[in-house]
Amino acid sequence: MQITSNNEAVRIADDIAQGLSTMSNVDVFIAPSFTELYSVSKAIKDTHLMLAGQNMYYHEKGAFTGQISVLSLKELCQFVILGHSEPRRIFGETDDLIRLKLLKALESGLTPVLCLGETAKEREGGKAQEILHQQLAGSLKGLEINQMKEIVIAYEPVWAINNKFLNPDTKIRPATPVEANEAHTIIREWLNNEFGAPTAEEISIIYGGSMNAQNAKELLNLEQIDGGLIGGASLSAEKFLPIIRIAAQLSENQSADYRWENNTLRFDE
């Protein structure tokens, strides 16, 4: 609910798609509001940019007023975000509900992006690992190895999300590289124990939580971090494309040669 105009959503998506046209070594999706998905899908047709739904329900059809069917999403999207901290913490979604959604997404051919993360209070209480294990176990209960290979996992500490409804009394900040790497290692080790090392290494684990062009290189350069789930910095091409470009350079083992000039990221060609 950050961008509420179809015209604005289409403009932003078109700008991102054009900027992405010269970067073929990164996978990028955006997740507009449901009412904007159709218009955006038409605007980015035949480009490298992909689409995600922000959520979905686990029944395909029926009297579920206000919910979104996977059948509607699969016509337009390649991904769907599930278990985001806002549905979890504001609207009370449980791990079991998220698991049912995840299974339906897999069955329907969408790639689920499963979000996990602890609150500031949970981290301060030394419960970060416990919460991550709990969310992993509950959301992935009963899944097979072949299903796990189709999932993306996003570590998104609640305390790093700039949302006053999630964090009314918490100073918002991105995770430090040490904190992010520790959390990703906890997730990867849990996956290793449950599904084996080959599967654990194959699964993409991405970081979400106040990633921007200023901290992207340091975070994305960490061995355990495979990408980013970008929030506020994805609301304009000017902020989002520099992050994508940093990721593209790092994926080619190139140094991301850039500098800040007049509060703008400038790349050295």
Per-domain boundaries in the chain: 6-267
* Mean local confidence (pLDDT), 144-161: 95
For 13, the token pair is 């998506």
Mean pLDDT over residues 179-201, rounded? 97
Provide the pLDDT confidence category of residue 251 given band limits of 50, 70 and 90.
Answer: confident
What's the mean pLDDT in 239-248?
Answer: 96
CA 87, 12, 209 angle in degrees (round to 5)? 40
Specify whether the CB–CB gap between 73 and 43 falls below 8 A: no
Q: Which two tokens mark 193?
A: 């124990």
Is 84 among the residues known to form the active site?
Answer: yes
Mean pLDDT over all residues of the chain?
A: 93
With b for 16 or more beta-carbon neighbours within 10 A and e for fewer, the 172-182 pattern comes to: eebbeeebbbb
40 pLDDT above the threshold of 60: yes
Which residue among 84, 93, 122, 179 is the active-site one?
84
Give the percent of the chain with pLDDT over 90: 85
Q: How many CB atoms lie within 10 A of CB 25?
A: 10
Return the pLDDT at 24. 80
More confident residue, 255 or 89: 89
Determine the average pLDDT of the residues in 170-183.
92
| More confident position, 260 or 48 | 48
Q: What is the mean pLDDT of residues 163-179?
A: 87
Q: Which residue of the set 36, 118, 122, 156 is catalytic?
A: 156
Mean pLDDT over 119-138 rounds to: 96
| 59 has catalytic annotation | no
Per-residue pLDDT at 227 exceeds 60: yes
Residues 84-93 have a mean pLDDT of 94
CATH superfamily of 6-267: Aldolase class I (3.20.20.70)
DSSP 159-223: GGS--TTT-TTS---PPPHHHHHHHHHHHHHHHHHHH-HHHHHHSEEEEESS--TTTHHHHHTST
Q: Is the pLDDT of residue 168 over 90?
A: no
First to last CA, the chain: 36
Per-residue pLDDT for 256 more than 80? no
**111-140: average pLDDT:** 96
What does the pLDDT read at residue 262? 54
